[in-house]
Chain A
Amino acid sequence: MKLKVNQQDRSFEGDPQMPLMWYLRDELALTGTKFGCGAGLCGACTVHVDGKAVRSCVIAMKDVDGHSVTTIEGLSADGNHPVQKAWRAANVPQCGYCQCGQIMNAAALLSETKTPSDDQIYQAMQGNICRCGCYQRIFSAIKSAAKEA
């Protein structure tokens, strides 16, 4: 299997059923993609596949053959994607564990919908759980990132 990860060409010979998340975390040490539920229920492992937000814990390696994957590490060369900047300006994180997934999901939302409505934000972000309860700030960070972009 061949794929691109953060613009780099990669090839993979292992179990084609293995979820992309474990390949990223265990083999490439790209641990910004977090393990939260392993069942596509919490969003902590969100990455972009061909620009779309995907739960990497439930997409098998065989399904990303020939595709291009972007992780939080590749979202921006200097860590200053507008969503990342908005996250810091709003002091969003508490423990921080879910935030890479939240940011990846929000970045995908804003690349498709420049100025999402409140409901569109809720809809798009419903799959990303934060147990610390940073939702109020996640919402305002997305709003301000949309304004900046």
Chain B
Amino acid sequence: MNPYSDKALITNVSRRNVLKGMLGTGGLVLAAQFVPARFALADGGSVNAYKTGADGMPGGTVSDPHVFVSIAKDGTVTIVTHRSEMGTGSRTSLPMVVADEMEADWSRVKIVQAPGNEQKYGNQDTDGSRSIRHFIQPMRQCGAAARQMLEHAAALTWGVSDTECRAQNHKVVHVPTGKSLGYGELAEKAAALPTPKASTITLKDPSQFRYIGKGQVQITDLFDITTGKATYAQDIHVDGMKYAVIARPPVVLGKVVSYDEAAAMKVPGVIKVVKIDPTPMPAKFAPLGGVAVIANSTWAAMKGREVLNVKWDDGPNKSYDSDAFKVKMAEQAHKPGRIERNEGDVDKALAGAAKVIEHDYYIPHFSHAPMEPPAATVRINGNKAEVWACVQSPGGTRSDVAKLLGLKEDDVTVNVTLLGGGFGRKSKCDFALEAATLSKSMGGTPVKVVWTREDDIQHSFYHAVSYQNVTAGIDSNGKVVAWRHRSVAPSLMSNFMPDPHRESSLELGLGLIDTPFNVPNLRLETGEATAHTRIGWFRSVNNIPHAFAMQSMVAEIAAELGKDQKDFLLEMIGPPRIVDPRKTVTNELWNYGDPWDTYPVDTARTRRVVEIAAKEAGWGRKLPKGHGLGIAVQRSFLTYVATVVEVAVDDKGNVSVPRVDTAIDAGFTINPERIRSQIEGAAVMGLSIAKYTQVTFKDGRVQQNNFHDYKVLRIGEGAMDVRTHIVPNSIEIPSSGVGEPGVPPFAPAFVNAIYAATGKRIRNLPLGDQLSA
């Protein structure tokens, strides 16, 4: 649910000013990732079995139990969780890793949310499906260190050797005599000990895990969520707090010309009207500007905004039009682009092919529409500020707010609430910056900025619209000998640097550049596209269009050749091997910010998930009339996912999805129950995207407003029977994430299933009424 490994690079780009590494050819950002490190024991105070990209992120990793663990005299163990919770369960899963390693009894563990402080806790950018991938090892080390400190405290108490003391389910036992001391009794002594050196830390044998990999631990907020006590940013109450809503420019970079302040001030409860200037692009996460109304209640602020009658100068994006832009992108996709990866000679192979197949695929903008619209509260007191916000990026929010207010980072506290959904939207802290601006305008009075649903849908950072052209050459034996993929989409990098007018290395890394297809002549190209709105990462990001085009095209060729879709997909993937695009890319190569040696492109794993999904779905089974099966696979966020979708199409063209089977290989897994919930949710989001979701622009303005015209999936509309098949892996297989990778294969599997059911090929999303028209 969570975006954005691309964020690894973005945070590097935006927070460390290594633009050169992104734009030039030097590979500054990525260079460190080429160090071979697979399974080598790392040095420098870590017991990690393998290297990840975690150290390349702002704040890196911290594994000191003095930071994360405290024990009360009554034995209650409090574990700090430093990543934001938006529904994936990481707020529970990471502390569970600590608890397991330290032999804590989960029923006596309390979880406390860390404020934004990356110097203290390590990286907090909760996106890119990274929480488990980057923190399973540091959290194991943290728990193991705590366990050894407790054992040592017991040894000191008894005057015996550490080797005679064993931590076991919340107490330390003296093995020769059987006497024991509870964690509460040892707390004070253990807390006074220094953290053991990494070289002396022994991790548990996985056979001794109590919680990791078992799936019996429920999310820590379950009771509070079901009783209304769980607190999200929209729910924050601070003494003396005022409420604000903002009229934002309907066109990005639009400016306020005039507004009726007096009318707004006449609304009972309205206190103040504040104009906020826009920031020119690249604006990173700076607010869009507009006119804010501050009032004694949310309702009064909203009533005040209604009568502002703002006149806008729409600025340079005023003619942005989705239909016209689609035509422009198509033109780009139909001519040679910039070569990004090149193997063999595609032109020659296409010229000599017995058959050439060419198709185009289109996916529109999406808005994340998390159920909780963005919200933030800020209070300023002298040279200190306090923030309460539903942010995926507590550390980045802290530095951005500090910068905006001219304060030291140490004087800004970012309290992270629960996030009512995130999907990438809440990685951008514009709403917290708005609250900071407005609190400042009120002399520091706490101000809560409330985004309405209309604000959320009309002023998001949108999933990139995209146009893909794929051309395949087939020889007389029915073998694919040429594959040319032209990808056109505006870049989210336009928020951080002058618009690159094409997908960046990071976006190509999102499931295009790493294509595993076993074709001798292969060329990946990008075409030009300009961002006319704010582009942002949306759960699984560019993997969605890339997977849609590639996995649809494979099925189209299979149909053309009269081959089974699944068999042909395996043929395209080719034999089990490591695919290494490092030698054949022409620009920088991005592997989700993680080392290739730890996370290579391993087609044995790609093949395995395809085979498991197909087998579990009963591929080839006899289906009722109007039903069809489709399959697709994508490696995204270093996790391999294959999905088989069964559709049922009635004679009016209505499509339902009676069953979904998804196989996922995420390396070693922590919490199978939460993996299943992510995969079930990914199917719902996937089906939303495939059937309904789109944001369109006319005259620079978003045409959708709320859930009546921004349609999302509702209960019973399909994907009610999603079966998740988790590939079992031992702990040596590096863990990867599960928040995003379930989404990309869904849409292509869905359209492939429609083709199987009806013979009709859907190449433009959303489906809408294409089958009934």
Contacts and interface: CB of A to CB of B under 8 A. Distances in A.
B450 A88 contact: no
A31 B371 contact: no
Contacts of B243: 26
Interface stretch (B34-42, B102-110, B167-175, B679-687): B679-687
Contacts of B219: 91, 93
A46 to B, nearest CB: 11
B423 interface: yes
Interface in B187-219: 218-219
Interface residues of A, number: 57
Contact of A15 (B268, B422, B685, B708): B268
Contacts, number: 194
Interface stretch (B134-142, B223-231, B756-764): B223-231
B297 A135 contact: no
B433 interface: no
B681 A94 contact: yes
A138 interface: yes
Contacts of A133: 680-685, 713, 719
A136 interface: yes
B715 A87 contact: no
B538 to A, nearest CB: 12
Nearest to B241: A26
Contacts of A56: none
B706 interface: yes
A130 B371 contact: yes
Interface residues of B, number: 66
Given A35-B234, A88-B222, A138-B715, A30 B677 contact: no
A35 B722 contact: no
> Chain B's interface: helix, strand, loop or mixed, by majority?
loop
B274 interface: no
B228 A95 contact: no
Contact of A39 (B89, B221, B373, B708): B708
B420 A79 contact: no
B533 to A, nearest CB: 21
A125 to B, nearest CB: 5
A73 B232 CA distance: 16
A54 interface: no
Interface string A101-123: 00100000000000000100110
Contacts of B452: 38
B86 interface: yes
A34 interface: yes
A129 to B, nearest CB: 6
Nearest to A37: B453
A42 B715 contact: no
Contacts of A27: 297
B87 interface: yes
Given A15-B268, A91-B218, A129-B712, A34 B371 contact: yes
A64 to B, nearest CB: 15
B311 to A, nearest CB: 25
A99 B680 contact: no
A94 B676 CA distance: 11
Interface string B628-664: 0000000000000000000000000000000000000
B684 A79 contact: no
Q: Give the interface centre of B419, B707, B713 by most chain A CB atoms within 10 Å.
A: B707
A73 B300 CA distance: 25
Contacts of B87: 93-96, 132
Contacts of B420: 34, 95-98
Contact of A32 (B229, B713, B721): B229
A1 B574 CA distance: 72
A38 B685 CA distance: 22
Nearest to B303: A15
Nearest to A87: B226
Nearest to A100: B228
Contacts of B682: 133
B673 interface: yes
A90 B160 CA distance: 47
A42 B221 CA distance: 22
B677 A31 contact: no
A53 interface: no
A29 B239 CA distance: 12
B715 A125 contact: yes
B370 interface: yes
A72 B229 CA distance: 9
B299 interface: yes
Nearest to A97: B420
Contacts of A132: 1, 87, 371, 421, 677, 681, 684
A95 B369 CA distance: 13
A138 B225 CA distance: 14
A131 B707 contact: no
Nearest to B457: A37
Interface in B78-124: 85-89
Interface in A52-98: 71-73, 79, 84, 87-88, 91, 93-98
A97 B268 contact: no
B406 interface: no
Please list the 6 inter-chain residue pairs (A to B) with the smallest Cβ-Cβ separation, ordered nearest first.
A32-B228, A133-B684, A97-B420, A122-B716, A95-B87, A133-B681
Given A29-B237, A96-B225, A135-B716, 13 more contacts: A15-B268, A25-B298, A31-B228, A32-B229, A38-B452, A72-B227, A93-B219, A97-B420, A97-B421, A125-B715, A131-B369, A131-B423, A135-B715
29 contacts: A22-B297, A31-B237, A32-B227, A34-B232, A34-B372, A36-B372, A37-B706, A41-B708, A73-B229, A91-B219, A93-B222, A94-B88, A94-B681, A95-B85, A95-B371, A96-B221, A97-B371, A98-B420, A100-B228, A121-B715, A129-B707, A131-B421, A132-B681, A133-B681, A133-B685, A133-B713, A134-B680, A136-B720, A136-B721
